[in-house]
């Protein structure tokens, strides 16, 4: 809502020294957020004066006709002699009163006026158009002022209103009343404690008879309708300068007097009006719901199919307007309309909001109706409009008019007098609430400790006690609210929350940089991952309105986002890149239904909540890493070490280690990993083995699809499952007896996984074993084709004695025996 | 090895003669003093203090002396040997100190050599800033609540008093999730962290003091100041006797903790369907503290010379939300806020462009380390 300050001042006795900036600041704190304060004409300097065209010499030697004028500017030019001015416009005659910029003047946009030779003549200034003065957009010629507007030679800047402060207010959805000068003026008056003069306070005589026939089909669509007509309107009458200027300053383009008047009254009072060409209306004007299949061509020349939820204004020949949104072309006020019927109505806000959205038509009218228009304003607004048409367009106001009033009276809201204080924490003096509520227009009846408050017709937003409290608090001022530190009784972070932080720190310490990728993905990514057609990760949720049509899906894995971030870094010149991400993925539940919308006037039942939750996808928290280049760099200490599949598994182990969970590693062939270099990772939850993710080197085709460097490795883990596998740590008993160390080298078939051998050794070694660690893997002639030697260090220790060599050897032999039995391992000779 | 010499007078036994003992002592002391390094001293020790040294050999002769002579000879030889031992010890210490000094100098390295063999990574500053923000409130006894990112419309809108056709519902540019049949699913990408309010109230015992940091989604194209994915920290208190004063106290604690002490805050009346009254929260610019307002000679880039920085929205929990969440608004009241995590990071660390937070460039992240 753009508010020219001079317009506002017509209705508020605002002290003259109040600046636009001060007003903007106060309004903003009180809930009318002033986004900008424009100072129109601030770059404008005189002399800009009234002039009278004395004589016009037509110059015809040029491509277009040019006029050389003698213009009386009084003594404004210092000489009293007529000013000689070249002018290209042709819409004026000798004797016209015009606006002249004299040499030295500067017009909006830094346009400086001087004396200069042009078209072979000396031109000493400019006869101005509305556009050049910044008044409004008009390219039909110069401004011709009505006789008596001003005296020749006098300054025109002030009277023309070339300088104006305009506040641009971002009106919140609850404050529909502020989409009018009237509403802003009322709040301004309250904020400054000065008088407010209601522009809607126009005297309205009782109807002198029946107006245009009209009907409301359903009061729930429209509860007030006023039709007031004028006759003998001069369709050629020009709108007055002040009206066009204000419309322009308010961001509305001046069109024609009839249209300008409806817009002007709407801006001033907040009531959208429709001007009908009565000659084109047939029969009774009816407000009703659109009929199925009904069509209407709206003013923007779009043929629209109406919905039965739309409210229409219809006449005998059918729908003529989508009520509150846009009129139809058939009854548009044309250049010849002399019989004008002004319609002012109060429509159901929700219906207008839906219609506006359905037809993707947001108009000045719909913006107001959907935020709530004063339900008692229509007669005043229509009367104000017809009176302006009469005054400015030579029309005669008809004494007879139509007024259908189906408005239900508002019930009072009962609220504790101390409620505002209880909300704000400020102990307001007695009577404070009553005072402010009455200031904004409420009727207040004190009833013991309670107030019975009937909000005014222009405040449909005031429905609850807290709405009333807000009115009191915002005028008393939020700055008065004290600051008291709240004190909860929380128990700190959950173990899961601590784990997530610890995992992030551990991965950062291990060399990984965290990224936060967008969750949007597409078929191309899923194809790049080499997923089979029936892979569960292809069953992604789809957005109805994606930003990018190539990425309409929600991620089912973190990997594509990591891959893209990796590629971006490589593209920016980094060869060694290690990234991690922690975040949710979205896995729709098979057969999930539509999430219901239970009513909100009560708490939903357990069944309703269960239905909502069943409709939601599973959203497990994942952690993923991707690495390319060297895991350890080359340098003065020696060579580097390229990241391999083992680093990916190590990252997974690092996460599990932070959680205190054992990770079981097993070979797997799972997209998007290299089928020979892919590990499936498991945890134990209450004895059950649970898959938590995969790690290893990526499939070469995936590497290529995402443009990553060869041999890039990655892992992805389900952090929620890791968390579920956590068990309380039981402290070990730390033995102070000496350790007995035994090394064994076992020869096995090279297909036997080391993990299996180690597990067998641990199991066979019994209670005395402290650790089993692989320290060497050897393949070569000495162990034979297809076999390898794996060497482990076994450390034994007892809690109550020093182990003898025999005991340690026996334990070792037992370990080897189990390994031999399980894996065919033989002690290396 | 000499045989016991019983046939000679002790004084007549040459090695025990006082002059001889003195000579051996002097010789040993001279050799010790002459040793220039530990190796030489070792030789000297062998020559003058070992079992085969002259003084040791002389000592053996004492046993053969008549008892009357033993004491004197023993004293003489023992004294000499002690002196030699002491001299050796002292010389040893001196030479070791000299050697240490030399060796430690020789072993000097260039400590400016870089060691970036296994470079450290970093957490994303949005993660760490979100943790810092949450911890301000955890310190005041709040817990951290969570909720899903793909959320039911009921939680994201209806329960928060966004009526089906209220313009507020379209104020936020929502990503809608398609149903399996291409129709409506009743699901959206949550447009704010506020649905966690309702989830917290439904699942927790009263009173509730929670914050909920998390991802939120709106259909804004990525540019310098917008991102379709961004982060908020939701705060919610529902208890008996809760007022806006406690809200201001919580906001003040946040501002002080993140931006420093003594910064004023202000509330501007605003509108959110789920709070009534509602306000936008500004804090005084921590750079210029308002000094740049109206001073074109000293503009402030941080607050655009406004003097205030908007940090979020807040308000009193709309009793209608309490009703939908099963809380009796006659007994309980509360407030909620939503703070922008990106905004906080931008201001706290001078991040200028949203792209930096989104693209995952390791240069950006590395600057912040694991904590910031």
pLDDT digits (tens, 9 = 90+) for B340-356: 999 999 999 989 899 99
Residue B8 pLDDT exceeds 70: no
- Structural domain includes residue A664: yes
Counting the structural domains of chain A, the total is 6
Interface residue of A351, A544, A592, A643 to substitute, partner B, most B CBs within 10 Å: A544
What are the pLDDT digits (tens) for A32-70? 999 999 988 888 887 888 888 888 888 787 888 888 888
Nearest residue of B to residue A367 by CA position?
B167
Report helix, strand and coil shares of chain B as percent, to nearest 5.
45, 20, 35
Cβ-nearest to A469 among B209, B270, B277:
B277
What does R_g of chain B's alpha carbons equal in angstroms?
43
Chain A hits for B319, CB-CB cut-off 8 Å, are: 464-466
Alpha helices in B12-115 (DSSP H): 18-34, 38-49, 54-61, 67-106
Do A692 and A749 fall within a single domain? Answer: no
Nearest residue of B to residue A479 by CA position?
B266
Q: Distances from the Cα of A487 to the Cαs of A275, A790, B137, B211, B337, in angstroms?
A: 60, 60, 9, 13, 16
Count Cα neighbours of A533 within 13 Å in the Cβ-side half-sphere: 0
Alpha-carbon distance A475 to nearest alpha carbon in chain B (angstroms): 10
Q: A334-338: which pairs have CB atoms within 8 A and are 24 or more residues apart? A: A334/A235, A334/A277, A335/A235, A335/A236, A335/A256, A336/A235, A337/A233, A337/A235, A337/A258, A337/A277, A337/A278, A337/A279, A338/A231, A338/A232, A338/A233, A338/A234, A338/A235, A338/A395
Q: How far is the C-alpha of B307 from the C-alpha of B309, rounded, in Å?
A: 7
Residue pair B212/B134 in contact by the 8 Å Cβ criterion: no
Residue B51 pLDDT exceeds 50: yes
Residues of chain A with pLDDT under 70: 335
| Count of helix runs (H) and strand runs (E) in chain A | 22, 42
Give the helix/strand (H/E) hosting A168: strand A164-170
Nearest residue of B to residue A419 by CA position?
B243
Beta carbon pairs, A and B, within 8 Å: 309
Alpha-carbon distance B179 to nearest alpha carbon in chain A (angstroms): 7
| CB pair distance less than 8 Å for B277 and A473 | yes
Do A68 and A121 fall within a single domain? Answer: yes
Do A285 and A310 fall within a single domain? Answer: yes
Do A286 and A419 fall within a single domain? Answer: no
Burial (Cβ within 10 Å: 0-12, 13-18, ≥19) of residue A756: middle
Do A82 and A231 fall within a single domain? Answer: no
Chain A hits for B253, CB-CB cut-off 8 Å, are: 485
Q: How far is the C-alpha of A223 from the C-alpha of A287, rounded, in Å?
A: 10
| CB pair distance less than 8 Å for B229 and A516 | yes
Q: What is the DSSP string of A62-76?
A: SSS-EEEEEEE-TTT
Nearest residue of B to residue A612 by CA position?
B152
- Structural domain includes residue A485: no
| CB pair distance less than 8 Å for B149 and A519 | yes
Chain B hits for A592, CB-CB cut-off 8 Å, are: 180
| Count of helix runs (H) and strand runs (E) in chain B | 13, 10
- Structural domain includes residue A139: yes
What are the pLDDT digits (tens) for B250-270? 999 999 999 999 999 999 999
Q: How far is the C-alpha of B178 from the C-alpha of A542, rounded, in Å?
A: 6
Cβ-nearest to B158 among A547, A582, A600:
A600
Interface residue of B132, B134, B137, B154 to substitute, partner A, most A CBs within 10 Å: B154
End-to-end Cα separation, chain B, in angstroms: 79
Residue pair A91/A135 in contact by the 8 Å Cβ criterion: no
Alpha-carbon distance A359 to nearest alpha carbon in chain B (angstroms): 14
Do A137 and A56 fall within a single domain? Answer: yes
Tokens 């009513």 locate to A599
| CB pair distance less than 8 Å for B244 and A473 | yes
pLDDT at position B201, please?
97
Chain A hits for B171, CB-CB cut-off 8 Å, are: 173
CATH number at residue A751: 3.30.70.380
| CB pair distance less than 8 Å for A172 and B143 | no
Q: How far is the C-alpha of A24 from the C-alpha of A27, rounded, in Å?
A: 5
- Structural domain includes residue A319: yes
pLDDT at position B169, please?
67
Interface residue of A170, A427, A488 to substitute, partner B, most B CBs within 10 Å: A488
Chain B hits for A563, CB-CB cut-off 8 Å, are: none
CB neighbour burial string for B68-99, b if at least 16 within 10 angstroms, e if fewer: ebeeebeebbeebbebbbebbeebbeebeeee
Q: Which residues contact A819 (CB under 8 A, 6 or more apart)?
A: A746, A757, A760, A761, A764, A825
Alpha-carbon distance B103 to nearest alpha carbon in chain A (angstroms): 23
Do A390 and A418 fall within a single domain? Answer: no
Domain end call among A682, A700, A724 = A724
Nearest residue of B to residue A352 by CA position?
B165
Kindly give the pairing relationship between strand A769-778 and strand A787-796.
antiparallel
Alpha-carbon distance A588 to nearest alpha carbon in chain B (angstroms): 9
| CB pair distance less than 8 Å for A565 and B359 | yes
Residue B3 pLDDT exceeds 80: no
Q: How far is the C-alpha of A316 from the C-alpha of A330, rounded, in Å?
A: 13
pLDDT at position A496, please?
94
Cα A787 to its chain centre, rounded Å, is 65
Do A628 and A684 fall within a single domain? Answer: yes
What is the value of pTM for the model shown?
0.87
Nearest residue of B to residue A595 by CA position?
B186
| CB pair distance less than 8 Å for A617 and B150 | yes
What does R_g of chain A's alpha carbons equal in angstroms?
41
**In 3D, which of A655, A658, A659, A677 has the Cα closest to residue A667?**
A677
| CB pair distance less than 8 Å for B175 and A545 | yes
Task: Write phi, then psi, for A11 (nearest 5 degrees).
Answer: -115, 0
Chain A hits for B280, CB-CB cut-off 8 Å, are: 33
Chain B hits for A489, CB-CB cut-off 8 Å, are: 141, 207, 209
Residue B115 pLDDT exceeds 90: no
| CB pair distance less than 8 Å for A615 and B152 | yes
At B357 the three-state DSSP class reads helix
| CB pair distance less than 8 Å for A173 and B167 | yes
Domain end call among A367, A387, A405 = A405
Domain containing A105: what range? 48-162
Residue pair B290/B306 in contact by the 8 Å Cβ criterion: no
Task: Write phi, then psi, for B192 (nearest 5 degrees).
Answer: -160, 170
* Strand partners for A116: A123
Do A716 and A648 fall within a single domain? Answer: yes
Strand order in the sheet with A33-40: A2-4, A164-170, A33-40
Do A172 and A268 fall within a single domain? Answer: no
Domain end call among A376, A405, A434 = A405
Give the helix/strand (H/E) hosting B332: none
pLDDT at position A601, please?
94
pLDDT band at B1; cut points 50, 70, 90: very low
Domain spans in chain B, listed from the N-terminal domain onward: 10-106, 125-366
| CB pair distance less than 8 Å for A633 and B215 | no
Nearest residue of B to residue A592 by CA position?
B180
Give the helix/strand (H/E) hosting A503: helix A495-509
CATH number at residue A124: 2.40.50.140
Cβ-nearest to B167 among A371, A488, A579:
A371
- Structural domain includes residue A790: yes
What are the pLDDT digits (tens) for A614-635? 999 999 999 999 999 999 999 9
Cα A353 to its chain centre, rounded Å, is 18
Interface residue of B199, B204, B244 to substitute, partner A, most A CBs within 10 Å: B244
Alpha-carbon distance B101 to nearest alpha carbon in chain A (angstroms): 27
pLDDT at position B9, please?
56
Cβ-nearest to B152 among A466, A545, A612:
A612
Interface residue of A490, A580, A584 to substitute, partner B, most B CBs within 10 Å: A490
- Structural domain includes residue A773: yes
Q: How far is the C-alpha of A482 from the C-alpha of A431, rounded, in Å?
A: 21
pLDDT at position B293, please?
86
Determine the average pLDDT of the residues in B268-290.
93
- Structural domain includes residue A800: yes
Cβ-nearest to A493 among B138, B171, B361:
B138
Nearest residue of B to residue A571 by CA position?
B361
Q: How far is the C-alpha of A555 from the C-alpha of B176, rounded, in Å?
A: 15
Q: How far is the C-alpha of A359 from the C-alpha of A365, rounded, in Å?
A: 14
| CB pair distance less than 8 Å for B269 and A426 | no
- Structural domain includes residue A481: no
Cα B358 to its chain centre, rounded Å, is 25
Do A224 and A244 fall within a single domain? Answer: yes
Q: Where are the beta strands (DSSP E) in A178-261?
A: 214-216, 222-231
Nearest residue of A to residue B116 by CA position?
A633
Q: How far is the C-alpha of A689 from the C-alpha of A664, rounded, in Å?
A: 9
Q: What is the CATH number of domain B125-366?
A: 3.30.930.10
Do A434 and A344 fall within a single domain? Answer: no
pLDDT band at B6; cut points 50, 70, 90: low
Nearest residue of B to residue A475 by CA position?
B269
Nearest residue of B to residue A476 by CA position?
B269
Determine the average pLDDT of the residues in B186-203.
96
Residue pair A29/B266 in contact by the 8 Å Cβ criterion: yes
Kindly give the pairing relationship between strand A33-40 and strand A164-170.
antiparallel
């Amino acid at each position: 809502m753009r508010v020219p300050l001079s317009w506002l001042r017509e209705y508020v006795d605002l002290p003259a020294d109040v600046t636009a900036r001060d007003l903007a600041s106060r309004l903003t704190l009180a809930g009318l957020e002033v986004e900008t304060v424009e100072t129109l004409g601030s770059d404008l300097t005189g002399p800009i004066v009234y002039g009278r065209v004395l004589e016009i010499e037509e110059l015809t030697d040029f491509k277009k006709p040019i006029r050389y004028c003698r213009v009386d500017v009084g003594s404004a030019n210092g000489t009293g002699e007529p000013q000689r001015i070249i002018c290209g416009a042709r819409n004026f005659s000798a004797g016209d009163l015009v606006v002249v910029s004299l040499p030295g003047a500067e017009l909006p946009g830094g346009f400086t006026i001087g004396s200069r030779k042009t078209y072979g003549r000396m031109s000493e200034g400019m006869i101005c158009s509305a556009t050049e003065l910044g008044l409004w957009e008009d390219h039909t010629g110069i401004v011709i002022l009505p006789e008596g507007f001003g005296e020749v030679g006098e300054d025109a800047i002030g009277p023309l209103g070339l300088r104006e402060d305009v506040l641009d207010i971002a009106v919140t959805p609850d404050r529909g009343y502020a989409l009018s000068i009237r509403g802003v003026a009322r709040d301004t008056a309250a904020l400054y404690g000065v008088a407010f003069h209601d522009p809607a306070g126009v005297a309205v005589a009782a109807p002198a008879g029946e107006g245009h026939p009209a009907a409301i089909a359903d009061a729930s669509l429209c509860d007030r309708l006023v039709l007031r007509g004028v006759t003998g309107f001069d369709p050629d009458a020009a709108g007055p300068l002040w009206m066009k200027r204000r419309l322009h300053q308010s961001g509305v383009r001046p069109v024609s007097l009839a249209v300008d008047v409806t817009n002007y009254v709407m801006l001033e009072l907040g009531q959208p009006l429709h001007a009908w060409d009565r000659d084109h209306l047939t029969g009774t004007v009816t407000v009703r719901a659109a009929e199925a299949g009904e069509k209407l061509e709206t003013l923007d020349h779009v043929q629209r199919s109406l919905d039965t939820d739309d409210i229409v204004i219809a006449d005998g020949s059918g729908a003529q307007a989508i009520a509150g949104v846009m009129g139809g072309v058939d009854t548009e006020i044309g250049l010849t309309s002399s019989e004008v019927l002004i319609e002012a109505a109060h429509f159901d806000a929700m219906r207008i909001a839906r219609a506006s959205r359905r037809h993707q038509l947001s108009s000045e009218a719909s913006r107001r109706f959907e935020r709530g228009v004063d339900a008692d304003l229509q007669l005043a607004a229509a009367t104000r409009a017809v009176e302006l048409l009469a005054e400015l367009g030579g029309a005669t106001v008809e004494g007879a008019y139509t007024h259908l009033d189906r408005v239900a009276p508002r019930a009072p809201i009962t609220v504790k007098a101390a409620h505002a204080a209880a909300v704000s924490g400020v102990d307001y003096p007695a009577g404070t609430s009553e005072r402010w509520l009455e200031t904004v227009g409420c009727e207040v009846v004190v009833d013991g400790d309670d107030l019975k408050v009937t909000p005014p017709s222009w405040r449909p937003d005031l429905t609850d006690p807290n709405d009333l409290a807000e009115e009191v608090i915002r005028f008393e001022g939020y700055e008065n609210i004290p600051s008291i530190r709240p004190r909860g009784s929380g128990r700190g972070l959950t173990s899961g929350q601590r784990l997530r932080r610890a995992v992030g720190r551990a991965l950062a310490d291990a060399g990984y940089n965290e990224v936060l990728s967008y969750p949007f993905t597409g078929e191309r990514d899923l194809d790049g991952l080499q997923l089979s057609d029936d892979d569960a990760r292809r069953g992604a949720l789809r957005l109805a309105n994606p930003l990018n049509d190539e990425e309409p899906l929600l991620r089912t894995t973190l990997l594509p986002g990591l891959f893209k971030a990796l590629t971006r870094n490589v593209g920016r010149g980094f060869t060694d890149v290690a990234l991690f991400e922690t975040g949710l993925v979205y896995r729709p539940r098979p057969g999930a239904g539509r999430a219901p919308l239970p009513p909100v006037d009560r708490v939903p039942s357990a069944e309703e909540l269960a239905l909502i939750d069943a409709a939601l996808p599973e959203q497990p928290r994942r952690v993923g890493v991707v690495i390319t280049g060297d895991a350890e760099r080359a340098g003065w200490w020696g060579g580097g070490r390229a990241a391999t599949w083992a680093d990916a598994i190590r990252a997974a182990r690092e996460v599990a280690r932070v959680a205190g969970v054992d990770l079981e590693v097993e070979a797997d062939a799972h997209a998007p990993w290299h089928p020979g270099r892919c590990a499936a990772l498991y945890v134990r939850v209450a004895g059950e083995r649970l898959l938590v993710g995969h790690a290893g080197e990526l499939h070469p085709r995936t590497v290529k699809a995402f443009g990553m460097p060869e041999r890039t490795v990655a892992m992805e883990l389900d952090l929620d499952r890791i968390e579920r596998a956590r068990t309380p740590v039981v402290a070990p008993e730390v033995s102070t007896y000496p350790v007995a160390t035994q090394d064994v080298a076992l020869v096995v078939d090279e297909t036997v996984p080391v993990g299996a051998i180690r597990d067998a050794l641990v199991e066979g070694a019994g209670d005395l074993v402290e650790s089993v660690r692989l320290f060497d893997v050897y393949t070569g002639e000495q162990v034979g084709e297809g076999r390898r030697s794996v060497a482990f260090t076994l450390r034994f220790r007892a809690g109550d004695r020093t182990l003898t060599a025999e005991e340690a050897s026996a334990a070792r032999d037992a370990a080897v025996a189990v390994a031999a039995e399980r894996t065919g391992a033989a002690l290396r000779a | 090895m000499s045989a016991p010499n019983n046939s000679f007078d002790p004084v007549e036994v040459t090695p025990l003669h006082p002059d001889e003992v003195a000579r051996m002592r002097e010789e040993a002391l001279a050799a010790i003093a002459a040793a220039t390094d530990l190796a030489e001293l070792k030789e000297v020790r062998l020559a003058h203090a070992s079992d085969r040294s002259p003084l040791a050999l002389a000592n053996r002769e004492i046993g053969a002396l008549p008892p009357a002579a033993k004491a004197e000879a023993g004293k003489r030889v023992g004294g000499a040997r002690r002196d030699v031992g002491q001299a050796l010890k002292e010389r040893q210490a001196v030479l070791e100190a000299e050697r240490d000094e030399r060796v430690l100098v020789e072993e000097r390295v260039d400590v400016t050599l870089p060691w970036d063999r296994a470079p450290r990574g970093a957490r994303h500053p949005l993660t760490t800033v979100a943790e810092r923000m949450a911890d301000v409130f955890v310190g005041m006894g709040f817990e951290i609540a969570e909720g899903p990112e793909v959320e039911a419309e009921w939680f994201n809108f209806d329960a928060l008093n966004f009526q089906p056709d209220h313009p507020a519902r379209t104020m936020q540019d929502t990503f809608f999730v398609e149903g399996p049949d291409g129709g409506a699913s009743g699901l959206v990408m949550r447009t704010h962290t506020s649905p966690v309010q309702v989830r917290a109230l439904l699942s927790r015992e009263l009173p509730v003091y929670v914050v909920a940091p998390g991802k939120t989604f709106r259909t804004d194209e990525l540019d310098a100041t917008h991102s379709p994915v961004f982060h908020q920290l939701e705060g919610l208190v529902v208890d008996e006797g809760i007022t806006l004063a406690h809200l201001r106290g919580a906001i003040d604690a946040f501002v002080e903790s993140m931006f420093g002490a003594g910064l004023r805050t202000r509330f501007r009346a605003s509108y959110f369907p789920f709070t009534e009254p509602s306000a936008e929260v500004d804090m005084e610019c921590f750079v210029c503290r308002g000094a740049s307002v109206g001073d074109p000679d000293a503009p402030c880039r941080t607050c655009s010379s406004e003097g205030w920085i908007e940090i979020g929205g807040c308000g009193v929990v709309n009793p209608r939300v309490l009703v939908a969440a099963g809380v009796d608004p006659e007994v309980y009241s509360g407030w909620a806020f939503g703070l922008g995590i990106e905004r906080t990071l931008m201001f706290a660390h001078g991040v200028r462009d949203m792209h930096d937070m989104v693209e995952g460039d390791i240069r950006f992240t590395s600057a912040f380390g694991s904590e910031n």
